[in-house]
Structure 1
Amino acid sequence: MVVHSPSRGSADAPVGELLRGWRNTRRCSQLDLAVEAGISSRHVSFIETGRSRPTAAMILRIAEYLDVPLRERNRLLLAGGYAPAYGEYGLDAPELATFRDALRGVLIAHMPFPALILDRHFDVVEANDAVATVVEGCSVELLTPPVNVIRLGLHPDGLAPRITDLAPWRDHLLTQLTRRASRTGDPRLAELLGEVRGYPSPAGHAENPAGVAVELRLGHRLGELAFLSMAASVQTALDVTVDELTLELFHPADAATRVLMASA
């Protein structure tokens, strides 16, 4: 799959050009966009070619339909000559205190099982103590911040050699990375995708893995550990930082893992 980067280009690219890039990436016709935005396809064409200047409300309406991330919606507004509509506070900012406390509360409550907060690049923002137990023995370089979970999971000096059934887990991670790179147009994600695709691939491939979901099974000094991964994000986010964070929880997939992690 080719990952397009609609946001890539000069910093002063006109708003119409940027909107056309997002529309093409979403494989949406001018007619389809016009119907959803409640305008004529002629108006869409004029916006994209710069013959018509869209209002801030129109930019946001089009961006909503095209599922443009909040960070890029701000860029569209700036390109159109308007102020950004979405704030971007640091996670430790007072404005995000309630959100931050809720996330950290989940990390603590999920012990003794691994839980992480990830940013838009799959870098670890925060993690509970169980994560350190699971990644024991991985390369120091891979565990030096910023720790990237895709790289850590698939690198030959990371978890990959210890994952019992690497093929389906590798497919899972690559699918997540490909989708996000395509959705956001972030060049750093595209570069990461190219990097991890170059890592050694497992010889076998389980086309139909057993169970109800892909499990992370890996050898460990405690014994074989098996986890199911569940991710959550804030779908109603109005802040760029909040929009880009993901909470990932690893639940024990069997009773043995539950006991082993509790004894760690």
Structure 2
Amino acid sequence: MTGAGRPVGELLRDWRRNRGMSQLDLSIEAGVSTRHLSFVETGRSRPSPDLILRLAEQLDMPLAERNTMLLAGGYAPAYPSHELSDPELAPVRAAVRQILDGHRPYPALLVDRHWHLVDANPAVDLFTADARPHLLTPPINVLRLSLHPDGMAPRILNLPEWRSHLLKRLRQQADATNDPVLRDLHDELRGYPGGDPAPVSDALSRVLVPLRYRHDDRELAFVSTTTLFGTPLDVTVSGLAVEAFFPADGATTEALRTLAPS
């Protein structure tokens, strides 16, 4: 937790500034006086758990950081954090498994909030077949696997564009969550070779950034989607995302059907 050991007012002030809000802005949104908010930030007033959660909601803080702020204020966490294997998350596991299995023969994987691989369907082996063992030792970070020279990078035909897309997405996620782990990962990945994006030259690339991937003597083209749980109240569930890849042309569709395991 990024704020462990820090006063609740200090955490609140940092998150408010991270969101680009003034004390007046936040006080209006949360329905609290600016004076009281100022007293909370300076430590002159102790906020109630209800006020902490109200402020955290207006600041769109991740559930884990809401728990951190509650602990800093001397209160118990409000949101549980189960292991994915716990009985309470059986419906979550079932939903994810249905998505992963239903997406075959196309690749789909489940990642946590730090982009560690949690689960995948067999079609993902297409992306990992030639990666070096050190990138496939758990915990496997899928962004590192994608952009590392010992991972997928040598087979990504539009590496500059794909790299730029992933780095932009990761930077936005790090800014939104204020997560130092994601910031460190962004700094690491930014140091990998990749080149500068070329001008857009085809119709598909004018709409979104495809993944163009070489497998044996074939060029495969994918578009990707991200699926999140819509109303999470558990820290673990709130960080889960299913990354699904769809064929972007008929040749890729046919190739994936041919390559699919029986």
User: Does the alignment reach a TM-score above 0.5?
Assistant: yes
What is the Cα deviation at residue 129 of structure 1? 0.3
What is the Cα deviation at residue 203 of structure 1? 4.5
Q: How does 1:1-264 map to 2 (within 5 A)?
A: 8=2, 11-206=4-199, 210-211=203-204, 212-221=207-216, 223-264=218-259
List per-residue Cα deviations over 1:72-108 (Å, max 9, x = no partner): 1001111111111101111111001011111011101
- Do the aligned partners of 2:161 and 2:197 also contact (CA within 8 Å) in 1? no
Q: Distance in 1 between matches of 2:85 and 2:127?
A: 27
Q: Distance in 2 between matches of 1:207 and 1:68?
A: 36
List per-residue Cα deviations over 1:33-82 (Å, max 9, x = no partner): 01000111111111100111111111011101111000010011111111
- Do the aligned partners of 1:167 and 1:206 also contact (CA within 8 Å) in 2? no
Q: Distance in 2 between matches of 1:44 and 1:205?
A: 48
> What percentage of residue pairs aligned between the two structures are identical?
53
Q: 1:65 to 1:207 in 2, by over 3 A?
A: farther
Give the partner amino acid of 2:238: D
* Other structure's SS at 1:76 match: helix
The answer to which of 142-151 and 77-86 deviates more is: 142-151
Give the partner amino acid of 1:157: D
What is the Cα deviation at residue 235 of structure 1? 2.8
Q: 1:203 to 1:36 in 2, by over 3 A?
A: closer
- Do the aligned partners of 1:168 and 1:209 also contact (CA within 8 Å) in 2? no
What is the Cα deviation at residue 201 of structure 1? 2.7
Q: 1:207 to 1:55 in 2, by over 3 A?
A: farther
| TM-score (ref. length: structure 2) | 0.94
List per-residue Cα deviations over 1:111-130 (Å, max 9, x = no partner): 11100000011110001100
The answer to which of 124-133 and 158-167 deviates more is: 158-167
What is the Cα deviation at residue 205 of structure 1? 2.6
RMSD: 1.5
- The runs of at least 4 consecutive aligned structure 1 residues that moved more than 4 Å come to none
Q: Distance in 1 between matches of 2:146 and 2:63?
A: 28
Unaligned runs of 5+ in 2: none
| TM-score (ref. length: structure 1) | 0.93
- Do the aligned partners of 2:116 and 2:142 also contact (CA within 8 Å) in 1? yes
Q: Distance in 2 between matches of 1:236 and 1:113?
A: 27
Give the partner amino acid of 1:219: R
Give the partner amino acid of 2:89: L
What is the Cα deviation at residue 26 of structure 1? 0.8
Q: Distance in 1 between matches of 2:140 and 2:116?
A: 5
What is the Cα deviation at residue 206 of structure 1? 3.0
Q: Distance in 1 between matches of 2:131 and 2:188?
A: 18
Count of residue pairs the alignment pairs up: 257
Unaligned runs of 5+ in 1: 1-6
Give the partner amino acid of 2:216: R
* Other structure's SS at 1:167 match: helix
- Do the aligned partners of 1:30 and 1:45 also contact (CA within 8 Å) in 2? yes
Q: Distance in 2 between matches of 1:209 and 1:34?
A: 48
